[in-house]
Amino acid sequence: MDFLQSVVDYANNLLWEYVLIIILIGLGLYFSIRTKFVQFLNFPEMMRVIFDKRSINASGKKGTSSFQAFAISAASRVGTGNLAGVASAIAIGGPGAIFWMWVIALLGAASGFVESTLAQVYKVPEKSQYRGGPAYYMEKGLKKRWLGVIFAITITFTYGLVFNSVQSNTISLALEGVFDVSGSTVAIVLIVLTAAVIFGGLKSIANVSQIIVPVMAVIYLLIAFYVVMVNFGSIPEIFTLIFENAFGIREIAGGGFGAAIMMGIKRGLFSNEAGMGSAPNAAATAEVSHPVKQGLIQALGVFFDTLLICSATGFIIISAGGYAGSDLDGIQLTQNAFTQHIGEWSGIFIAIAIFLFAYSSILGNYYYGESNIGYIKDSPGWLFVYRLAVLAMVAFGALASFDFVWALADLTMAIMALINLYAITLLYRIAHRVLQDYRDQRRAGKDPVFNREILDNTDGIEFWEPGQVKGKE
């Protein structure tokens, strides 16, 4: 195991230090400028679309509702990264890591918009639902099925297996720290609960996610807001600390400038997934009248994840202190911070919250793998094997070490992101034209309805024919 972790750490250093950071920030800035900062200027439109009553209440004959698709992707985003990931970023990189989380979210929201809009453009109606995502737009937009297959394998391994081991590892640490529950007991419970849902299919995942995620996120944010308000007077000092450490003005926790950037971007990407190629799989399932609607909703998800939940966690940990050189791992550091602020009961709440957050993430992660296995080959046999592998990795994560599961997640995440960013850069012109069409229709006072004929080349676009979709009646 030590040898394997050394290999994973070496590969991580190569990918993160020399490649992915420059590409993530560079492309985020490029997409932001080319879309005229869609993630900021169209923020009111994001709120209009997600609170449209049809987005919340209705789902089409083939797809989920727009809100359900948001909930599935949020189920994967909101969880371990927000509580344990933020804690580990601050412990290693210092408070400045929070600043770089903000940067990757603000710029990455544009990348998230592009990838999710493309997922809608190239989605495929199959049986009782839609399928889509990076593998589909690589094949149908770039005409490179081989690349789509590579991506499908990568995301299935990354999300369905590796990331789910991170989720169960965090649950195990949280419950051990408060209830003294063994890893083996956690493994058994998670296997039973996960199996009960993943054998129910997409609709089951959507139904569970849209209940768990909003409720737990609201409760967590209310408690976090209370803690922040109680410590309101220290907020200016916290902001000062974050900005000073972000640019290496102070050396904290042995991190300084380099570690702050590295950990902020790593944990920021793990948490909000912007540009990684995961959220488009959920975005493609939505039944909307225009691809841009779901692109906007998924961009909103990046803000929801990082600027709200991650920031709240970061403020609480920083104001509690004691993060530098701590022996606590991830979620235990967050639990300790809450305990210092509002008492012993809060450690129990965080344990329960992380259980529900991480469990919902396991469900969302599983769906990404299922969708991409269906892309490679629609085989009930392979799907059954995949489900067993997911359950096995959930059990493995509950028993494995904190450092190993996170190092493996960083590596597979980097590989997946590089493949997807390459594809959406080549296909950006399609997303840009679709965005122009949406803005033109909104300026004309219409509820936008997409017609693929506005594109110069409709080859590979199987949906969006005239009459296939209707706007607001």
Domain extent listing, the chain:
9-320+329-454
Residue 322 DSSP code: -
98-126 pLDDT, tens digit per residue, is 998 999 999 999 999 999 999 999 998 87
The whole-model pTM stands at 0.86
44-96 pLDDT, tens digit per residue, is 999 888 877 655 554 445 556 667 666 666 655 666 777 888 888 888 888 88
CA-to-CA dists, residue 85 to 57, 180, 223, 236, 339, angstroms? 33, 22, 19, 24, 18
CA-to-CA dists, residue 29 to 21, 23, 38, 39, 413, angstroms? 12, 10, 12, 11, 20
1-11 pLDDT, tens digit per residue, is 666 777 777 67
**DSSP assignment of 244-255:** HHHTTSS--TTT
CA-to-CA dists, residue 295 to 167, 280, 323, 468, 472, angstroms? 26, 9, 37, 19, 18
Q: Give the model's pLDDT for residue 258.
A: 67
Contact 466, 323 (CB under 8 A): no
Beta strand 124-126 with 129-131 is antiparallel
Q: Give the model's pLDDT for residue 77.
A: 61
In which residue are the tokens 């570690």 written? 259
Query: Is 9-320+329-454 in CATH node 1.20.1740.10?
Result: yes
- CB-based contacts of 177, cutoff 8 Å, min separation 6: 331, 332, 335, 347, 351
Nearest to 79 by CA among 190, 170, 197: 170
Q: Give the model's pLDDT for residue 10.
A: 66
Predicted confidence band of residue 254 (pLDDT cuts 50, 70, 90): very low
Strand partners, 64: 286
State yes or no: pLDDT of 256 exceeds 80: no
Q: Give the model's pLDDT for residue 134.
A: 94
Q: Give the model's pLDDT for residue 98.
A: 92
Can you tell me the mean pLDDT for 14-22? 77
Q: Give the model's pLDDT for residue 164.
A: 93
129-139 pLDDT, tens digit per residue, is 788 899 999 99
Q: Rounded mean pLDDT of the chain?
A: 84
Report how far residue 284's alpha carbon sits from residue 136's, in angstroms, rounded to the nearest whole number: 10
Can you tell me the mean pLDDT for 290-298? 92
Contact 412, 155 (CB under 8 A): no
What tokens does 40 get? Answer: 């900021």
Strand partners, 131: 124
